[in-house]
Structure 1
Amino acid sequence: MGPAVLERALLDIAVPIAVLDGADPHLPVVWVNRAFEVTTGYDAAGARQHQRDPIPPGARNPDALLAVREAVRARRDVASTLSLRRADGSVYTCRIQLSPLLAADGTVEHWVAALQDLTDQLSHDAEQAALVEAERRERRSLGLVAQVSDLLMDVDDRTTPLHEIASLLRHALVGWAAFYVNDGGLRQADGVDANRPPSGKGRKHGVAARQVDEGGDRTPGPDAVQLLLDGAKERPVDLPLDGWFPRGSASSWLADHVTAHAVPNLTAASARAAVFPVSGRRRVLGLLVVLPRTGSGLDGLDQSARTVLELTARRVGLVIDNARLYDREHRLAETLQRAMLPQQADVEGLDVWTYYAPNSENVQVGGDWYDVLQISPDVVGVVIGDVVGHDVEAAAAMGQLRSVVRSYAYDITTPGPVLERVDQLVAGMRIPRSAGLVLSTLTRAEGAWRLEYSRAGHLPLLHVRDREVTELMRGGGPLIGFGGGGRSTESLALEPGDVLVYYTDGLIERRDRGLRDGIDALTEVVGGVTARDSAGIGEEILSRLADHPEDDVAVVVVRVPDPRDHLERGRSPRRRRWSLPSEPTSIGRARHAVVRTCHAWDMPNAANAELVVSELVANAVLHGFGHVSLQLYDTGDGLRIEVEDGNPAPPIATDGHPGRVGGFGIKIVERLADWGWRPSARGKLVWAKVRPGDLPPAAVRRPPGS
């Protein structure tokens, strides 16, 4: 193969090749092939003329150029990636393979440079890297949204702290983040607080620290934050943190608050905050405010980050809305249920204790009920019943039945005929739910009590005498509304110390235990009770059988007093409990319950205990949510009071909290008792142990909840 063939091969090969003069230290180009001319736009003369043109600073690779120079000095092959300039002025990256051509005496006559244009490869690599980065961002975004969803999963948990979600956003996405809620005015949010009223178009934002310069030519900017809160804007907005806004506006207050609380993250580049609406179903409930890590306002957020923040704000809004809606329905149902249950009055000559607890898995409403009627000075009526279902319809049916039974019981004191009349009326009323009940009357004659009762498809009463338990199975009949014929009335003469236990199936029935086994278990518990008063008996029954009820529970315990009771009072367990609705009337009920308990236990200083429980229950009603649990314990050296509600926030005294409304109640408690608090499964439990001694002069009575 001759030299001419080799020259044509080099000239026509698709690889760009240049021959450089090895005798010149600047290695000028002396020959190029056609591929080189196509790639660079230069022939040999043009390449030589522009060989030393400067490369833009961003495209320079000093380390690679230094490696090439060292290889040339050492007269050895070298491969390196460099940037070259084309004839049109563009810069491209190529891989250069440089090899020396030696003369007979060992000197380098020429250098051969073979070029590989990396433009397509780098573009492909960049595209692949961009795809990988986009996928990574999408995975990160999905993971972040999943974490937010996990934090918000338990809608019933009102302690879900929004600051945890804000902290998650700060850690993974933005420089700073915080949630604000609008309930008559903006405030920074700590958690999903269902006890707050629904958001409105509140403008109680206080006076802004930054005021409009009336003497200058600056005019206030638009109140974009208020437009978000009013629903006039749906998309997120930028909030200039150094802007000028109308006096007392939402934008002014928020800019001041963000500036004060985000100082470590605030830079000149982040002079604008991005504000996202936290929307419920029908209104804007609050705001999510963020400072991007780079850039300012919405411009500092890429599309992926904006999507995550918008989804987070939307999910938080729905959770807050659901929590508030659930809480409103919960309160409505509980208020309805409680309104239909009687306030137990003192019954002359009998010791009566009542208890009702709805199934917490339902909407705090159901069909179980009881009633205690003082029909006349010597006649007491006791009713317990159960309407099928756990909804408002069941409660409504229960309310109708209760009213009907009450009306007839005052007119006819014999239980059988009363239920016959109830059957007739219910058949005409078309009440949609079936129901069972027990109606009984206790009549006093010549100092002794006599029981008459009739059952309409309900569980038997338990009669206890000298720890021997008897099921009162007689006097039974079909469910209310299905009587058809006459209903019988059974009677029983009661003796001092006798106990009657009325109950619904929620007390004894479980998924793993049928009614018959449940009645046997209740009979065993009742037979072993050592208490000498109805409240003590009821407490022992509840502690053994009602720790984890699967249904509504209603219990009534009636005991005929025994003259020997005062001799054995110490045998009664020293514990009492009450479940109270979250409403002001519960304060008076709690005070009355504590005074009665102190007298029953022969405990002094009932006035101190009454004042302490009044303040604790008032705080639970005013500042908590959900029903209030009150428990009393005789510790041997004093009375311990425990009040539990659904708000996890700790009680706070007024001292050290300027502008706080209330807080005086805790100061009164401190004067009368040792007290403390702890978190509980439902929220918090506040306890107080009343100190012995007279009421301190400084502990004057204040209005409940002050």
Structure 2
Amino acid sequence: MAGLAGQHVAPSPDLFAEMVAGTSLCMFVTGAYEDGLPLVWVNDAFTAKTGLTAGVAAPPPVPGRASLGPLEHVLVEPSDAALAAPALASGEGGTFTMQCLRADGATYWSHVTFTPRRDVLGTVTHFLGTSVDVSAYVDERSAQLQTLAVERRQRADLDLIAQTTELLGDLEYPYALRDIAELLRSVVPWAAFYLNDDGLLHADGIDMAAPPGGRGRRHARYVGGSDADPLDPAPSAHGARETVDAVQDLLDGLVDGPVLLRLDVEYAPYSASGWLRRDLVRRVLDETGVRPGSVVVHAVGGRRQVLGLLVTWNGDEAGAGATTASVLSEPDDVRTVVEVVARRAGTAIDNARLYAREHHLAEALQRAMLPEQADVTGLDVWTYYAPNAEHAQVGGDWYDVLDIDGSTVGLVIGDVVGHDVEAAAAMGQLRSVVRSYAYELTTPSVVLDRVDMLVQGMRIPRSASLVYATLRRRAPEESDVPGEVSADESWDMEYTRAGHLPPLLLRGGTVRQLDGGGGSLVGFGFVERRTTTEVLYPGDVLLFYTDGLIERRDRSLKVGLEALVETSARITARDAAGVGEELLSRLADAPEDDVAIVVVRLPDPVADATTPSLSPRSRRWLLPSEPASIGRARHAVLRSCQAWGLPESASAELVVSELVANGVLHGWGHISLRLFDTGDGLRIEVEDANPAPPVTTDGHPNRVGGFGMQIVERLADWGWRPAGSGKLVWAKIK
């Protein structure tokens, strides 16, 4: 036996036949393909598995279809024969996965391998077949594929929802809802949004001007009758009319939805269901070429009520006999995605309209409360207010220039804590109170004492700081001393402060803080306030401001005040607007808070005529939309041309008068006026909130006027461009 170690001894044919017959592997031998693959031998395992024995007859052949002979008995799908037949016919054999029948009638998956046997001439005379049960593998693979498909579908759904959220994040994009509906067409054949704004309307985007609640005009509810709808493009084949307005029930919140809207029946002519059916039939037919049979309608809900509808079509055609059960039995994942998109769209629409409403309210408050500067004889006054855009154009800063009588001027600047609508409302109340007492009383400290008392009783929720000052022209007196400043060229100033930053007095290149008359914030005055006096002379400049001019995140208020004093000492302008422009250009190019400034300068005819001005060659004003602003604009141009030494003052005065007049007559909101010395002429820019461009006309028929832009065209080159929500008109004096 030791001598036989390592030698290979071929088994005898009897031993091989015994082992093959007794193996648990299903094996069989067939004849040639041309002979019909007759079963000439099977082992016990194959018979036990399939119930087939050697010599079993093949089922009757089906014309035009490939056959595997007797093996057809075990195929669940006879069409599987087409997979193996070409390889067997060519004599190549191969391995094929087939679903087979067990002897007990159960099914299983099998890997069937056909190995050809050839004679000495190379002709295939037999096939040796083996069958391996791979049901467990196929089931596991199928489960993995299903899981993978679910995961892919979930990722696609999450991606769709993410894209929807991104589209809804841009409130000003006019086609957000249209693009979302197109995204949904990856899970449903067709989708569209309808918003209930003055009745149902197909919506591509969010109408920001609609009310926040979204409810517009209600459609009529059907109360009876059977007249056919004359506007119906597809009358019911059954001649029946639906008496339940499911769409209106959804809009009214009586049902949660979704609801089925069948499009092959009639509805009342002016009902929500009837209108929606007419629009959908036309729209889906135009876009897909198919007349829809029914749609599923989901509610697009806001905080308090339904804002509109999200309509999806499942692809059925009219006349298919769809039922509520069949249409609403859409896959759970599809229905979930559509409902999530509808909810997010509703929230976004509600938020967008609520934001728009608050923004319009803030703008209305800002327009109503922005101070109106009075023109004061004998004083050069420039005022400016720049709200921080991050705060929705509304805040608590304010100023007033009050022409109390012919010889007394009231100056107020204040700041209410906060940058919201409540701060603006508190500012408006406080401004009215100060104005009332300013016209009644004369001494600043007495005015603020009265304001304290009233504010405490009104319970204004926000604290505020302010400076109130009065300027009185000195009574004229005769003087025999040559060169002495006469009394009628100087002014007496009285002021008091309520927790506000001190005004600055600029005189002869020096700057002094007027820090007298200090006291607590408005509404916290428990001690009698004090009044401080100053005498102002020609050439003096008073600067009133709020903390937005100097406050920055990277420095303290004290450091900012020091920077303001240093900057003010270097100012070379000889007019109030020039002083303000220098301050803004150096300190407030990018303000982090609202900025309010009042600059008052006592003109000095002698020094102004002999000393050159080196101030910035630009000026800006914010004017209320009222006729008095036309005169202020003319005055502003004259003073700027005088300060810059420009000779075109007469033409510039006429041009700016026409441009500002157009803004007052045809625009709305406040008017922004800017002047630029370009080196080769004067450029004028007037901006208002009306986006409509100016038009040159031949005058108004049968009435005076209408030649304004013709005058501008004769005197200047001009043009316009959109700016913000309105327009900017510019003119350059020729």
TM above 0.5, yes or no, is: yes
**Alignment counterpart, residue 299 of structure 2, candidates 277, 280, 290:** 277
- How has the CA–CA distance of structure 1 residues 588 and 192 changed in structure 2, closer, same or farther, with 3 Å as cutoff? farther
- How has the CA–CA distance of structure 1 residues 575 and 248 changed in structure 2, closer, same or farther, with 3 Å as cutoff? farther
Aligned residue type for 1:68 = L
Structure 1 Cα separation of the partners of residues 460 and 572 of structure 2? 42
Structure 2 Cα separation of the partners of residues 214 and 111 of structure 1? 65
**Alignment counterpart, residue 313 of structure 1, candidates 323, 329, 342:** 342
TM score, norm. by length of structure 2: 0.75
| Identity within the alignment, % | 42
Deviations 1:633-686, CA, capped at 9 Å, x for gaps: 4574664323358xxxx75999xxxxxxxxxxx9998997765544x6xx5452
The aligned runs of 1:147-546 (5 Å cut-off) are: 147-153=163-169, 157-159=171-173, 161-163=175-177, 165-166=179-180, 169=183, 172-198=186-212, 199-203=214-218, 209-210=231-232, 217-219=239-241, 223-239=245-261, 244-255=266-277, 257-258=279-280, 265-268=287-290, 272-291=294-313, 302-336=331-365, 339-362=368-391, 364-391=393-420, 394-395=423-424, 397-399=426-428, 401-423=430-452, 433-445=462-474, 446=476, 447=488, 448-480=490-522, 484-529=526-571, 531-546=573-588
Structure 2 Cα separation of the partners of residues 116 and 479 of structure 1? 93
- 1:510, distance to aligned residue in structure 2 (A): 0.5
Worse-superposed segment, 163-172 or 310-319:
163-172
Q: Is the 8 A contact 1:533 1:572 kept in 2?
A: no
Structure 2 Cα separation of the partners of residues 212 and 96 of structure 1? 57
Give the structure 2 partner of residue 139 of structure 1: 155
Give the structure 1 partner of residue 729 of structure 2: 688
Q: Is the 8 A contact 1:277 1:288 kept in 2?
A: yes
Structure 2 Cα separation of the partners of residues 604 and 104 of structure 1? 117
Give the structure 2 partner of residue 19 of structure 1: 29
Q: Is the 8 A contact 1:384 1:439 kept in 2?
A: yes
Give the structure 2 partner of residue 578 of structure 1: 622
The aligned runs of 1:540-559 (5 Å cut-off) are: 540-559=582-601
- How has the CA–CA distance of structure 1 residues 687 and 652 changed in structure 2, closer, same or farther, with 3 Å as cutoff? closer
- How has the CA–CA distance of structure 1 residues 252 and 483 changed in structure 2, closer, same or farther, with 3 Å as cutoff? closer
- 1:163, distance to aligned residue in structure 2 (A): 4.6
Structure 2 Cα separation of the partners of residues 242 and 631 of structure 1? 62
Worse-superposed segment, 350-359 or 445-454:
350-359
Give the structure 2 partner of residue 65 of structure 1: 85
- 1:230, distance to aligned residue in structure 2 (A): 2.8
Aligned residue type for 2:85 = L
Aligned residue type for 2:217 = G
**Alignment counterpart, residue 617 of structure 1, candidates 662, 667, 679:** 667
Higher gyration radius (CA): 2
- 1:21, distance to aligned residue in structure 2 (A): 3.9
Deviations 1:521-555, CA, capped at 9 Å, x for gaps: 33344445455443443344334333322223222
SS for the counterpart of 1:19 is strand
Aligned residue type for 2:662 = V
Q: Is the 8 A contact 1:208 1:253 kept in 2?
A: no
Q: Is the 8 A contact 2:49 2:103 kept in 1?
A: no
Aligned pair count reads: 655
- 1:321, distance to aligned residue in structure 2 (A): 0.9
Structure 2 Cα separation of the partners of residues 100 and 405 of structure 1? 110
Deviations 1:220-274, CA, capped at 9 Å, x for gaps: 6755444433333432344556764433444454455555555664143755444
Structure 2 Cα separation of the partners of residues 58 and 490 of structure 1? 110
Worse-superposed segment, 422-431 or 369-378:
422-431
- How has the CA–CA distance of structure 1 residues 358 and 16 changed in structure 2, closer, same or farther, with 3 Å as cutoff? same
The answer for unaligned runs of 5 or more in structure 1 is: 581-585, 622-627, 655-665, 694-706
Q: Is the 8 A contact 1:498 1:560 kept in 2?
A: yes
Structure 2 Cα separation of the partners of residues 652 and 239 of structure 1? 47
- How has the CA–CA distance of structure 1 residues 493 and 105 changed in structure 2, closer, same or farther, with 3 Å as cutoff? closer
Give the structure 2 partner of residue 702 of structure 1: none
Deviations 1:46-87, CA, capped at 9 Å, x for gaps: 46567455978783353532012212xxxx664334455666
TM score, norm. by length of structure 1: 0.78
- 1:25, distance to aligned residue in structure 2 (A): 1.7
Worse-superposed segment, 26-35 or 133-142:
26-35
Q: Is the 8 A contact 1:101 1:110 kept in 2?
A: yes
Worse-superposed segment, 497-506 or 112-121:
112-121
Worse-superposed segment, 548-557 or 253-262:
253-262
- 1:508, distance to aligned residue in structure 2 (A): 1.0
- 1:441, distance to aligned residue in structure 2 (A): 0.6
Q: Is the 8 A contact 1:370 1:385 kept in 2?
A: yes
- 1:599, distance to aligned residue in structure 2 (A): 6.5
Worse-superposed segment, 190-199 or 388-397:
388-397
- 1:470, distance to aligned residue in structure 2 (A): 2.7
Structure 1 Cα separation of the partners of residues 285 and 630 of structure 2? 50
